[in-house]
Amino acid sequence: MFAIDIQHFSKKYRGKEVIHDLNLQVNEGEIYGFIGPNGAGKSTTIKALLDFIKPTTGDLAIFSLDSQKQAKTIRQFTSYVSSEVRFYPNFTTLELLKITAQLHQLDQPKKAINDLIDLFDIAPHKKVSELSLGNRKKIALAASLLPNPRLLILDEPTNGLDPAIQHRLFNELKKRNAQGMTIFLSSHNLTEIQDYADRAAFIREGEIITVQTISKETSLGKLVKIDSKTLQTQDFPASFKVLDHNNQQWRLLYTGENKELLQFLSQPIIQDFTVQTPTLEDQFLSLYEGGNLK
C-alpha cells in the first residue's frame, strides 16, 4: 500500500499554476525525501495533502483515504511539523504535550511525555513565549512523535536545532521507522536526505523532475574531479555536466559509459583526476543549477 499517493496534482494561485501535474507515491514504511529550492512547491504539496489548501486538479490520498474527503480520519494517524512553528504563547511545554495526549486519547502518556522531554532536552515548565525558535521546534517534534503516528510529515525539521539535538532526532526517526512508521521528509539539508532517506523526489518549479533511490548502486553517474591547465568548457562531451570550475580545477558529473570516460581521462592535457560516487548534493547541483562556473 502507498502511504502517500498523489495523482495529477495541480494548483493555481490567482491564475498562475505553481504545481503542474505532479505524481508522487511513497511506500508504507519508507523514509522519503522531498527536495527542492524555495518556491519549488514542496510546502504547497504538503498543505494540499493535509487538506490545508484545495487542489485545483488531481487526487491526493494517504493510506488510500482521500485527503480532502477523509481528512478528519487521516489526522487520527498522521503527524505534521511545519517549517514555521507557532503555539499559544502562554502554554508551557508540558501543558502542550498533555493536551496532545488528550486529543489523541492516549492511555497513561506520562512516561512517553517524559521520555520525549528528555530526548529533546526540553524545559517542561517554560512558557512558549520564553522560548527560541529551536526550542519551539523541539516541542513540535515531541508533540508529533507522542501519538506514534503511522505517517510523520516533516517540513524542514532541523531548522533552529543544534547538531546534538539533530543527531538525537534522526536516531529516534530511524528507530520509529524500524517499527513501521512512514516518514516524509521535506528538507534543504541534502546530508539529511543522503544519510537517512530510502528514496528522494526532486521538485523544481512545481514539477517532479526525478525520483532517486538513495544508494551507491543507483546514483546519478560519477563525480569526476579533473586538474587541467588548458581544458575549456567546450572540450567536455555532452555526457559531462560542469558542477564547479575554479582556476584549473574542475568538478563534473559524468553520466556516460565507463569506456568513454577512460578515453577522455587518458588525454595528456589532464594532469590529475579522481572518480567517485556523487553525493546527493552533486546530484542536486546537476539537476537544479547546472553547475557553478567561475
In tens digits, the chain (294 residues) has pLDDT values of 899 999 999 999 988 999 999 999 999 999 999 988 888 899 999 999 999 999 999 999 999 999 999 999 999 999 999 988 989 999 999 999 999 999 999 999 999 999 999 999 999 999 999 999 999 999 999 999 999 999 999 999 998 899 999 999 999 999 999 999 999 999 877 778 888 999 999 898 899 988 888 764 445 678 899 999 999 999 999 999 888 899 899 999 888 888 999 999 999 999 999 998 777 667 676 666 554 433
Question: 55 with 120, same domain?
Answer: yes
Domain boundary among 173, 190, 216: 216
Instruction: Report the domain count for the chain.
Output: 2
Domain boundary among the residues 216, 245, 263 is at: 216
Query: Measuring CA to CA, which residue among 148, 278, 154, 138 is closest to residue 216?
Result: 278
Same domain, 68 and 173: yes
Query: What is 114-145 written as a DSSP string?
Result: HHHHHHTT--TTSBGGG--HHHHHHHHHHHHH
Q: Which domain holds residue 131?
A: 2-216
Q: Please indicate, yes or no, whether residues 165 and 243 belong to a single structural domain of this protein.
A: no
CA–CA dist 286, 291 (Å, integer): 6
DSSP reduced 3-state for 147: coil
Of the candidates 128, 154, 132, the one whose C-alpha atom is nearest the C-alpha of residue 141 is: 154
Helix or strand run (H / E) with residue 292: strand 292-293
CATH code of the domain containing 115: 3.40.50.300
Q: Which cell is 91 given?
A: 502554554
Residues 207 and 237 in one domain: no
Cα Rg for the chain, rounded, in angstroms? Answer: 22
**pTM metric for this prediction:** 0.80
The CATH number of residue 245's host domain is 3.30.70
Q: What is the pLDDT of residues 3-26, one digit of tens each?
A: 999 999 999 998 899 999 999 999
Instruction: Identify whether residues 224 and 186 lie together within a single domain.
Output: no
Choose the final residue of a domain: 216, 234, 254.
216
Contact 241, 293 (CB under 8 A): no
